[in-house]
Amino acid sequence: MSPPNRTVLSHSTRAALAAGLAAPLIAAAGGTTPAQQLARFATAAGIQGQAERGRAFFIGHHGGQWSCASCHGNPPTAAGRHASTGKSIDPLAPGANAASFSEAAKVDKWFRRNCKDVLQRECSAAEKADVLAYLISLDR
Ligand code: HEC
C-alpha cells in the first residue's frame, strides 16, 4: 500500500475552500447552524417555520406570567435580562450573537427549560420552527 499523496490532498482541500465550503467548516466547530436547527424542527413538524407566527408566539404570555420576551427582550437582538434573577442573557437572535443556535444540545436544553417556564409544557416542533424562522428573520 502506498502512503496518501499529500500534494493531491492539499490541492483538493484548497479547491474545496475555494468552492465556498469554508462557511460549513467554520459552523461545524460549534456543531450546527440556525438554518440547520430551523430545518430540523420544520422537518419534524412537517411545516415551514413562519416568522410572523413565531413573533406572536415569542411575545405571547400563553396564560402565564412570562413570555419569551420577558427574559430575551423584544426584539431579542440585544442582551436580555432574566426576569427573576436579573442576570444578563446574551442576545438570542443569531444575527446579534454568533454563538446562538450553534450547538444542538444547548438549543434542546433551553427550549425544554424555557418552554416549561412560559407554557407549562414543552414547545412543539412547529412552535420551535416558527420561533427559529422569526429569530433568523431578525438578521435582515
Ligand atoms: C425566565 C427567563 C427566560 C425565559 C422566560 C425564556 N428564556 Fe430562553 N433562555 C434563558 C436563558 C438564561 C438562556 C441561556 C442563555 C445562555 O446561556 O447563553 C436561554 C436560552 C435560550 C435558547 C438557547 C439559545 C442558544 O444559545 O442556542 C433558546 C432556544 C431559548 N432560550 C428560547 C426561548 C423561548 C422560545 C422562550 C419562550 C417560550 C424562552 N426562551 C423564554 C432564559 C429565558
Out of 19-23, 103-107, 119-123, which region has the weakest mean confidence (pLDDT)? 19-23
Task: Give residue-wise pLDDT tens across range 5-18.
Answer: 444 444 544 544 44
Cα Rg of the chain, angstroms? 19
Predicted confidence at residue 74, as pLDDT, reads: 97
Residue 83 in contact with ligand 1 by CB distance below 6 A: yes
> Is the predicted pLDDT of residue 92 greater than 90, yes or no?
yes
Q: Which atom of ligand 1 is nearest to the CA of 58?
A: 37
* 62: alpha, beta or left? (left if phi > 0; alpha if psi -120 to 50): left
Select the CATH number that applies to the domain covering 31-137 from these four: 1.10.760.10, 3.40.50.1100, 2.40.10.120, 3.40.50.11540. Answer: 1.10.760.10
Q: How far apart are CA 52 and CA 49, in angstroms?
A: 9
Task: Give residue-wise pLDDT tens across range 42-89.
Answer: 999 999 999 999 999 999 999 999 999 999 999 999 999 999 999 999
For the chain, the structural domain boundaries read 31-137
> Is the predicted pLDDT of residue 30 greater than 90, yes or no?
no
- Asked if 94 and 135 touch (Cβ cutoff 8 Å), the reply is yes
> Is the predicted pLDDT of residue 123 greater than 60, yes or no?
yes
- Asked if 57 and 67 touch (Cβ cutoff 8 Å), the reply is no
Residue 31 neighbours by CB under 8 Å, 6+ apart: 102, 103, 104, 105
Which pTM value belongs to this model?
A: 0.83
Predicted confidence at residue 82, as pLDDT, reads: 96
Contacts 24+ apart (CB under 8 A), 7-15: none
**Among 66, 92, 101, 116, residue to substitute to test ligand 1 (most atoms within 8 Å of Cβ):** 92
pLDDT category, 29, cuts 50, 70, 90? low
> Is the predicted pLDDT of residue 1 greater than 90, yes or no?
no
Alpha carbon separation from 18 to 11, 28, 65, 104 (Å, rounded): 10, 17, 51, 28
Residue 51 in contact with ligand 1 by CB distance below 6 A: no
- How many angstroms does the Cα of residue 82 sit away from the middle of ligand 1? 9
